[in-house]
Amino acid sequence: MPVAFSRLRIAGFKSFAEPVSLEIRPGLTGIVGPNGCGKSNVVEALRWAMGENSAKSLRGGEMEDVIFSGTAHRAARNIAEVVLAMDETAGVAPAPFHEQPELEISRKIERGNGSTYRINGKEVRARDVQTLFADLASGAHASAIVSQGRVGALVTAKPDQRRAILEEAAGITGLYARRHEAELKLRAAEANLARAEDLRGQLEAQLGALKRQARQASRYRNISGAVRDAEAELLSILRARVEATRAQAHAAWTDALSAVVSATEAATAAATEATESAALLPPLRSNESDTRTSLERHRIAQENIAAEENRARAALDAARQRLEQLGRDLAHAEQLLRDAAAADSGLTTEDSSLAEAEFGHIAYAEATLTKAAEAAEAVRLAEAAANRATEEAAEASARAQAATQMLAQAEARARRMAEQEASLRQDHVHLAAQAVPVERLAAAIAEQESAETMLAAARAAVEQEEHARVTAHTTLTEAREQAARAESQRTRLATEARALAEILGVKDGEQWPPMVDSLNVPAGLEAALGAALGEELSSAADPNAARHWRTLASLDPLPSLPAGATAFSTLVQAPPALVRALSQVGLLDDDADGDALQAKIMPGQTLVSRAGAIWRWDGYTIQAGTPTAAAVRLQQRNRLNVLRADLIQAEAEAITTRAARTDAEAAERVAIAAEQTARQARREAEQQAERHRASAAELKAQATTIAARMAALDEQLARLAAERAETEATLARVSETSAALPDISLLRVQLEAARVGLSAARAADSTARTACDVLVREQAARTGRRHFIARERQDWSTRAADAQSRVTDLAARKTEAETELAVLESAPTRLAAQRAEALDALESAEAMRQRAAEAMIVANNRSIFADRAARAAETALANAREAAVRAEGNAQQADHAWGVVAERIMERLGADPAMPNPPAELTPEAEDKARKRLERLQKEREEMDPVNMRAEAEAEEVEKHIATIVREREELSTAIAKLRGSIGHLNREGRERLNAVFQDVDRNFQMLFARMFGGGKAHLALVGSDDPLEAGLEIYAQPPGKKLATLSLLSGGEQALTAMSLIFAVFRCNPAPVCVLDEVDAPLDDANVERFCNLLDDMVRETATRFLVVTHHPMTMARMDRLYGVTMQERGISRLLSVDLQMATGMIDPPRMAAE
């Protein structure tokens, strides 16, 4: 089943202050009401819920104007909400609502917060809602919402503006929204591509700067070594000073803790005393509360007795007053009995006299009535005669006058027909001269077909070249990615090799290279050799250096290493100066053997593991994992050798990929040039085809127009000939009728005589009627008075009975009141005695409460004093604790200072460093001297230019970022190509749908136009372009009896009917779930309104569309299935009332049929 709108709920929108619901049921739903009551607000609420974003089109200045703004008696609202319910939506709604059979779409606006859209309670974008309705051929600006202004806009619109109604019929309104979204994404992707290119250039410049900074960082490390010794001296002095301060702080902390213990004991004793004092208070407080409660009970009892005494005195006074009033009422009732007896006697006498007078006038009345009947019969006969004479004279006069008018009209009509026939024949000759030759039209059509063939070939060529360009671009993208990856790999290897070469090279200021650079160490032995010889490897081989290795003769025999250890002299290629040292360093394959073999090695020997663990002959041991500068340098040398070999291979690969990229770029340029050439050829073919199409269309339109006009002239000439023959026959009949008419003067004489006789009869009848009227009035007066007397006697009888009953009742009530008074007179004395007893009990309870309160005050004061003593002890304890905390803080600060110094030593010098001995006197002057020396060395280092120690790592990160940008740039290029393809696909789909639906809309329009006008012809045409997506829609119409013309040349009513025919023709092709017609019947006369309503009935039967019709026309209201009335009973507040006309008809018709 198609989608159906089922309900519209409005709350706080414009004049709808309270929530109202409009059920949108199948068939025709009418919305009626006076002007200004809010009918248009219902239509605007529906448009607003569908996504209307223009406040101006909703008759507002800004969107918040749709919220109810209040009236003189109603406050303004802050929120407006419209909810639209839809059924049968499974498979139509977007994800995640695709499978849901019902949707509830709501739009809510809050002052200051804007609008929110929800589908089934889940918040969505406005674009999602607008696209959903566009796919359903609906929406805020869809052709399904029709008003007088919409009809006028369709009439005055240009052809390209009318194309929108065809797009809705084809169901491609949603495609346009998707194409617009794709174009926005395309522009964003192109902007991102440009930004990526800019960023890549910036990063390449940054990479060059980072490489220069890496070279500066190497020189910085040499100067930092000289700072280390001065810093070690300063740290030894600081450590000695903080250790002394730490010992003093801990002693003070111990004394403070002893004071806390004493204060704690005193506070405990004071707290015990306060607890015991507080334990005595609850029983005393309970006793005081009980006595206070007893006092309140006695006081309330005394007040109740006093109140009861006052009530007894008030009741006594009231009883006395009632007794007096009963006496007065009894006297009044007895007087009423006497008055009733006197009135009954007078009325009986008057009624007897009226009966005697009525009997005496009966004979006179009968004679008078007989005379009046005779006079009335004479008048009736005279009036009949006068009427017959009048009718004969009037009929003869009218027939004569009608014959004269018909004769004049027939003669005038014959003259007009002769003039029209002459004019039409002249027009026919003129049109025949303007006819288009058949040969010229055939030649124009042949030229158009040839141009269309050339255009199709050009379009095929463009598609072929575009495919070739996309293929070349894809190849180029792949080549660029491969070249970027190869270049990134080469750059990374070259940068790392260059950085290692700079690190391993001779630093500025060093005259002799270290011994470590002369070694050739196999991979995996760097950590072992660096741990064995350590800083000694940084010494030079030149004997002129301050620290150097001397070449000594080999010892014979050398001490042998223990079994399982391999001498390093057999594993490492080293200078002769290191032979002795390396021969006494043994490599262990298993770390577990080190501890066992350490006791067996000879003096001067050392055992090491591959992980860097050391076992020296004197017991000195280092665990594995402790890195050394020598080991790091050896690993860097081995890494440099590997990098140089990889770099040669990477450079060769980079050269190959660059060549492939250059070839791909050239191929893409060739493909782009070929595509541009093909597009230029297509544009020229399109222009030529457009010229031929326009020429052929102009000739066709001219030929069609002339043929239509000549056919219309032929029809008019034939119609004039028939009408002329009919007019001549009419002239003959009118002449014969005039000759057969009677003499009017004789009829007029007879009419005057009848009128004189009628006047005499009416005078006699008037005299008789007057006498009868006098008799009737006298008799009516007597009868009325006798009836009044009877009613009066009945009333007095009823009053007498009531008075007698009241006398009996009042006597009984008086007796009861006297008894009650006797009882009440004894109550005040008894209550006064009870009040005196209650007062004595109240005074006794007051004394008991006073004694309990005094005992509680004494115990409370004792508890207060004990609490004060406990708080004082707590204060002393708190002070002692604060002193202990301060002492602890000082100790912790001393510990922290010692830890800071130790941490600084660990951070700056490493674990268990060889610290120099501090001076004998740990004075501030010694610390200041060491600090100045350190600052001087640091200043010397800081005078260098700024050094970026992370330059190498940052350069590598920048290279990775550049490679990422290159990859993302290629991805953006691919995305742009895909988006362009998507836009082309949407355009092709739109053309196919428009071409398919145009013929259906044109056929439906022709059929509906003939039905609306009862004849005539009309058709649609695409003008302005051969592309349906750019062509305009022109409407040609020929109402019965008129020439073929465009829509703008028709009359107002004809334009309205033609526009509605087009709108309903679209409905037949793509019915919308709902159609709103807002007073479109206003410019139509009754006959056209009837046709319009018949068409609505047909549309209801043929489609599933539900119609909302806003109207003032009674005929349209009568044809509705149900009516909603919009009322404004309260000024400024709209409400809805509904009537189901089918149900109402069903309720009325059965009783009516039964009555007939």
pLDDT tens digits, residue range 686-713? 788 778 877 877 777 777 777 777 777 7
What token pair was written down for 892? 């912790």
Task: List the chain domain ranges.
Answer: 370-434+741-783, 519-625
Q: Give 1127's strand partners.
A: 1135
Query: Distance between CA 804 and CA 811 in Å, rounded?
Result: 11
Instruction: Note whether 1044 and 712 are within 8 A (CB).
Output: yes
Q: Which residues pair with 1136 in a beta bridge?
A: 1126
What per-residue confidence (pLDDT) applies to 109? 93
Polymer length of the chain: 1156
- Whether pTM exceeds 0.75: no
pLDDT recorded at residue 729: 77
Reply yes or no: is the peptide bond before residue 557 cis, omega within 30 of 0. yes
What residues in the chain have per-residue pLDDT under 50? 506-510, 1148-1156
d(CA 85, CA 101) in angstroms, rounded, equals 11
CA dihedral angle for residue 589, residue 594, residue 598, residue 599, rounded to 10 degrees: -110
Quick one: how far is CA 677 from the chain centroid? 48
CA pair distance 915, 909, nearest whole angstrom: 9
- Asked whether the beta carbons of 397 and 746 are under 8 A apart, the reply is no
Answer whether 309's CB lies under 8 Å from 829's CB: no
- Spatial separation of the C-alpha atoms in residues 913 and 734, rounded to whole Å: 145
The pLDDT value recorded for residue 116 is 93
DSSP labels, 68-82: ----SSSPPPSEEEE
45: Cα within 13 Å, side-chain hemisphere: 30
| H or E element that contains 1127 | strand 1122-1130
**Hey, what amino acid is at 1016?**
G
Q: Tell me which H or E stretch contains 1128.
A: strand 1122-1130
pLDDT of res. 1140: 63
Distance CA 88, CA 1073 (A): 11
State how far the Cα of 1076 lies from the Cα of 146, in Å rounded to an integer.
6
Tell me: the pLDDT tens digits for 758-809?
A: 777 777 777 777 777 777 777 777 777 777 788 877 877 887 777 777 778 8
Strands 28-32 and 1122-1130, sheet pairing: parallel
| 567-570 long-range Cβ contacts below 8 angstroms, 24+ apart | 568/525, 568/528, 568/529, 568/532
**pLDDT at position 348:** 77
Please report the beta strands in 254-330, taking only residues with DSSP state E, as ranges in sequence order.
none
